[in-house]
Structure 1
Amino acid sequence: MTEPHEPEHRTRRLPATGPVEAAGEGEASAAKGDVLELDRSASSAAYDPVPAHREGGGRAGRFWSARRVPATLLALVVLGGSGLLLYDVAAVRAGRPAMQWRRTLADELARRPLENAWLLAAAALAVAIGLWLLVLAATPGLRALLPMRRDRPGVRAALDRSAAALVLRDRAVEVSGVQSVRVRMGRGRAVVRAVSHFRELDDVRADLDTVLGTGIRELGLARPPSLSVHVRRPAKKR
């Protein structure tokens, strides 16, 4: 899980549109530079995710995908190849000649050297398929599901990442000054990008940090993600 970082503020300063009162001719430029408007604000530290812990209901692990399609395809390929080879071996034992495909394959393998391009390509393909099957067998899958805390024995639940992002977006649009929000919900980090058309950007970001931090805690996730909030002004129309 991505750990929260120290507060980071990235600002781009633009001159204010209102009048500026100067103390004197020598201080006019300094006064204009002091009256500025923040155009962007970002933070990733106001929300501290609750560390994962063991609940009374047991460990809340990830959900494993059944992967029925890869398993079915592999079973059909293995079944077809084994049946065909077994039939050919039985036919040879019964005194019949081997199938043409097996004789051709044996002749090609006997004539071609090991550094042949076709042999290397076939070997690389077999290795890639084997690694892919091993990865499927060793990883849970279902990355779109976020496990929730297990408060009761025998009960497991998960929240879809798109649903979690929708909940956070609905929370964010209720903050005063927020015009639009985009939420990208990952397994270890929630990135929120908001557009604010009024209020100070730092104030809007602080409110978003508070509201979204509470929203993430109320989702009841076993491993709450870290939070990164970015607030900017809307693009100027040309």
Structure 2
Amino acid sequence: MSLEASPEAPAGASSAETPAGVLDDWGDGAKVRRAWATRGLPAGLVALLAVGLAGTALYIGATAKIDRAPRWSRDLLERAQTHVWRDDWTIAAGLIAAVLGLWLIVLAVTPGRRNLLRLRSPGDAMTVYMTRRTAASFLRHTALASSGVLDARVRMGRRKAVLRVDYHFRDPDELHDELLERLEERAMALTLARVPRVDLRLQPVSGR
């Protein structure tokens, strides 16, 4: 679980000033914003690349103006002007650049930090998160507390928690109803901003 200062609303702001879709909710399906990552490494790499390319271009342009360009820069300019950009290396470099550019765009428009689930906020200036692993652990221990349950595996998502439960010596319908009720109560007690829907799947250990 983590605490972060929320950039979405200043301290002392009223609920009427909070943007639509950002209000904390107990699970009625309202939109809940995810935690955004800082993206420090990609941003640093892009900045270094941009500075390197801009510095090289500025150096070549400045030296060419005073007729003191080094031989390698003259060769580079000549090759850029006369080369036919159709060979395999050029195509491969273009594809790599396109993939990297698409990757950077995806990083820019997605929040990242998929392992965090937002909790109901205790205040306008604070945002609280729980890890998916922690939430899954709560649900798993709830399932294991029921008689007849041997093991439980949980895949925790933002909207749905899928539980696969191994059991024996229990009526499946009775166990399903009992477990589903307990798991839904536990999911509600987690105080997540969006209460996940519980998808319960039972598997008898005998294989019948």
Q: Which TM-score tier does this pair reach, normalised by the shorter chain?
A: 0.7 to 0.9
Taking the aligned partners of 1:197 and 1:137, their CA distance within structure 2 comes to: 49
2:201 equivalent to 1:234:
no
**Structure 1 unaligned runs (5+)?**
1-48, 54-58
In structure 2, the residue matched to 1:199 is 170
The root-mean-square deviation of aligned C-alpha atoms, in Å, is 2.1
2:44 equivalent to 1:72:
yes
User: Which of 167, 177, 189 in structure 1 is aligned with 2:148?
Assistant: 177
Measure how far apart 1:98 and its partner are. 4.0
SS in 1 for 2:67: coil
- In the TM superposition, what are the counterparts of 1:131-146 in structure 2 within 5 Å? 131-146=102-117
- Pick which of 117-126 and 167-176 moved more: 117-126
Q: How many residues matched?
A: 182
Measure how far apart 1:122 and its partner are. 1.8
1:60 and 1:156 in contact (8 A); partners too: no
C-alpha distance 231-179 of structure 1, shift in aligned 2 (>3 A): same
- In the TM superposition, what are the counterparts of 1:71-150 in structure 2 within 5 Å? 71-100=43-72, 102-150=73-121
2:181 equivalent to 1:210:
yes
Taking the aligned partners of 2:71 and 2:183, their CA distance within structure 1 comes to: 68
**Amino acid corresponding to residue 174 of structure 1 in structure 2:** A
In structure 2, the residue matched to 1:52 is 29
User: Which of 200, 220, 229 in structure 1 is aligned with 2:191?
Assistant: 220
**Amino acid corresponding to residue 225 of structure 1 in structure 2:** P
**Amino acid corresponding to residue 87 of structure 1 in structure 2:** Y
SS in 1 for 2:147: coil
**Structure 2 unaligned runs (5+)?**
1-25
Taking the aligned partners of 2:139 and 2:86, their CA distance within structure 1 comes to: 57
User: Which of 30, 36, 61 in structure 1 is aligned with 2:33?
Assistant: 61
Taking the aligned partners of 1:185 and 1:99, their CA distance within structure 2 comes to: 60
Taking the aligned partners of 1:70 and 1:218, their CA distance within structure 2 comes to: 38
- In the TM superposition, what are the counterparts of 1:13-52 in structure 2 within 5 Å? 50-52=27-29
Q: Percent identity?
A: 35
In structure 2, the residue matched to 1:160 is 131
Measure how far apart 1:178 and its partner are. 0.6
How big is each residue's C-alpha offset from its partner over 1:44-90, in whole Å with a ceiling of 9 and x where there is no partner? xxxxx93134xxxxx85211100111111111121222222222222
Taking the aligned partners of 2:32 and 2:100, their CA distance within structure 1 comes to: 31
The TM-score with structure 2 as length reference comes to: 0.79
How big is each residue's C-alpha offset from its partner over 1:10-51, in whole Å with a ceiling of 9 and x where there is no partner? xxxxxxxxxxxxxxxxxxxxxxxxxxxxxxxxxxxxxxx931
2:168 and 2:206 in contact (8 A); partners too: no
Taking the aligned partners of 1:91 and 1:109, their CA distance within structure 2 comes to: 17
Ranges of 4+ aligned residues in structure 1 off by more than 6 Å: none
Measure how far apart 1:233 and its partner are. 1.3
